[in-house]
């Protein structure tokens, strides 16, 4: 069949969508196979077959800019899906959606293995479930929305509430604890963010065990749409062939959905809810279901998801959240009040927050913390109108402890040290539980609230409080 696929001609160009006509006697290239445009530009233009328009014409998605492409240009059919390099050769490298090197370094060895980007999720009987808690060192996450090794977690938040900073902090926090391979997919990332991450990883010495895959914001929708599949293919190779644990980080999955919506409109499909593509659920599922643990190795996914207009009922947000084990909601209100990380303790959840998984003590402390913070939230309108003095004695005590707990759950990050001047803190789960328990039991009732703000462990807050009292006495 491949022998019959020789050359076609471009007959229409609509942005990222290109129609190619083949001789009627030839077999049409299969859907999801790659085509190479034979033009006079130095940069290779690759198309991916999306559909068969008629018996002689296919409709394809361009993975690079089509500026300068004209009708009549020859197109070569490969007869195979787009394939990207995998294996140890790509560790420490920055790749684009096609697997080309983007770090100005040496070319990959000629014998580097390649794998097609389209794959099937593991069979249900081959998947393995894990209940081993994945400690991040971030207090509020470890306490209220614990991650599991081999699970999927997503951080949802609007613009400017700290999603990318939190992803970068998790990378830092896991360098010492995590001994597997890291694959980072930058989907719709700004060039500045990509350069910052590249520089930080190289400086911190984790780059040699990391692969960076970028489909940048300035690239056409085809590149942003397929970049997560490129990253997933590399992760699957280390999981299946090397039996190595993989940490898969994606920032930002919403841009993947957005790229699919752009392509859908260019293809002329009728939009679905809120203007999204009618294939939204199946596109998200095709990606998320491939993120699974199998063959004795785990793929742990941490994904950042932009929430348009802070609307958590947006169809893209709900489609992505339905696949997650842990959901971390970022709050604009908490960010405005200066609580970082701005994780909403009541909106965040985890399927792993179960006494059979995390233990009775962790579950009990988390439930007590949630109850106190929920009651504090219920009373905020009354406090704003009448003042805290009008509350009953029991409610005043709850408010006092909830405010101190809220401040204790903030912490300085290593990635923000250069901007804030405050050294970052990574806190062990045992210290987090001990600190929260002490605050809820009233140990910090007489402390000033500022002593608990932006600290690591409770011992550090205790020293801060002692220093403040000594200064006041002097």
* Enzyme catalytic residues: 163, 189-190
Burial class (CB in 10 A: 0-12, 13-18, 19+), 223: buried
Q: Where are the alpha helices (DSSP H) in 241-359?
A: 253-266, 280-288, 315-321, 332-336, 355-358
Distance CA 187, CA 169 (A): 18
Q: Where are the alpha helices (DSSP H) in 88-220?
A: 139-144, 163-177, 191-204
End-to-end CA distance of the chain: 88
Q: Are strands 7-14 and 133-134 parallel, antiparallel or unpaired?
A: unpaired
Distance CA 143, CA 138 (A): 9
Distance CA 398, CA 372 (A): 6
DSSP letter string, 372-437: HHHHHHHHHHHHHHH-GGGS-HHHHHHHHHHHHHHHHT----STTHHHH-PPP----HHHHHHHHH
**For residue 76, what are its two tokens?**
């070569």
Question: Which residue matches tokens 């992505």?
Answer: 320
Q: How many CB atoms lie within 10 A of CB 268?
A: 9
Distance CA 298, CA 279 (A): 28
Smallest CA-to-CA distance from 82 within 52, 55, 45 is with 45
Q: Is the peptide bond before 103 cis (omega within 30 degrees of 0)?
A: no
* Polymer length in residues for the chain: 474
Phi and psi of 401, rounded to 5°? -75, -35
Smallest CA-to-CA distance from 281 within 304, 264, 298 is with 264
Distance of CA 21 to the CA centre of its chain: 39
Phi and psi of 339, rounded to 5°? -90, 110
């Amino acid at each position: 069949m491949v022998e019959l696929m020789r050359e076609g001609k471009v007959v229409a160009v609509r942005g990222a969508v290109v129609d190619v006509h083949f001789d009627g006697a030839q077999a049409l290239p299969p859907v999801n196979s790659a085509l190479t445009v034979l033009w006079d530009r130095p940069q290779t233009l690759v198309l991916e077959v999306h559909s068969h328009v008629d018996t002689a014409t296919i409709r394809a998605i361009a993975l690079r800019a089509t500026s300068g492409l004209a009708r009549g240009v020859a197109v070569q059919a490969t007869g195979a899906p787009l394939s990207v390099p995998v294996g140890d050769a790509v560790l420490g490298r920055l790749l684009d959606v096609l697997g080309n090197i983007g770090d100005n370094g040496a070319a990959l060895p000629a014998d580097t293995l390649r794998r097609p980007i389209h794959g099937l999720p593991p069979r249900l009987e081959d998947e393995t479930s894990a209940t081993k808690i994945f400690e991040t060192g971030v207090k509020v996450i470890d306490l209220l929305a614990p991650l599991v090794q081999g699970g999927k977690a997503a951080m949802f938040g609007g613009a400017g509430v700290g999603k990318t900073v939190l992803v970068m902090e998790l990378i830092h926090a896991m360098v010492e604890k995590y001994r597997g391979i890291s694959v980072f997919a930058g989907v719709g990332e700004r060039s500045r963010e990509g350069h910052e991450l590249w520089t930080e990883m190289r400086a911190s010495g984790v780059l040699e065990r990391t692969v960076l895959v970028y489909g940048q914001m300035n690239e056409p929708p085809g590149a942003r749409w397929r970049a997560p599949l490129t990253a997933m293919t590399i992760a699957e190779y280390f999981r299946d062939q090397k039996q190595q644990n993989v940490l898969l980080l994606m920032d930002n999955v919403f841009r993947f959905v957005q790229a699919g919506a752009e392509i859908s409109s260019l293809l002329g499909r009728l939009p679905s809810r809120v203007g999204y593509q009618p294939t939204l659920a199946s596109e998200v599922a095709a990606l998320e279901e491939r993120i699974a643990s199998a063959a004795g190795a785990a793929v742990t996914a941490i994904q950042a998801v932009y929430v348009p207009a802070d609307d958590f009922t947006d169809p893209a947000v709900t489609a992505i959240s339905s696949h997650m084990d842990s959901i971390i909601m970022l709050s604009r209100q908490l960010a405005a009040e200066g609580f970082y990380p701005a994780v909403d303790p009541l909106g965040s959840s985890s399927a792993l927050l179960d006494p059979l998984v995390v233990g009775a003590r962790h579950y009990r402390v988390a439930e007590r913390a949630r109850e106190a913070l929920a009651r504090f939230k219920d009373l905020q309108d009354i406090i704003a109108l009448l003042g805290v003095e009008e509350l009953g004695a029991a409610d005043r005590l709850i408010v006092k402890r909830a405010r101190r707990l809220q401040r204790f759950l903030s912490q300085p990050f290593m990635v923000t040290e250069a901007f804030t001047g405050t050294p970052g803190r990574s806190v062990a789960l045992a210290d987090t539980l001990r600190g929260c328990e002490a605050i809820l039991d009233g140990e910090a009732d007489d402390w000033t609230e500022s002593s608990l703000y932006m600290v690591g462990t409770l011992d550090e807050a205790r020293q801060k409080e002692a220093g403040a009292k000594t200064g006041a006495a002097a």
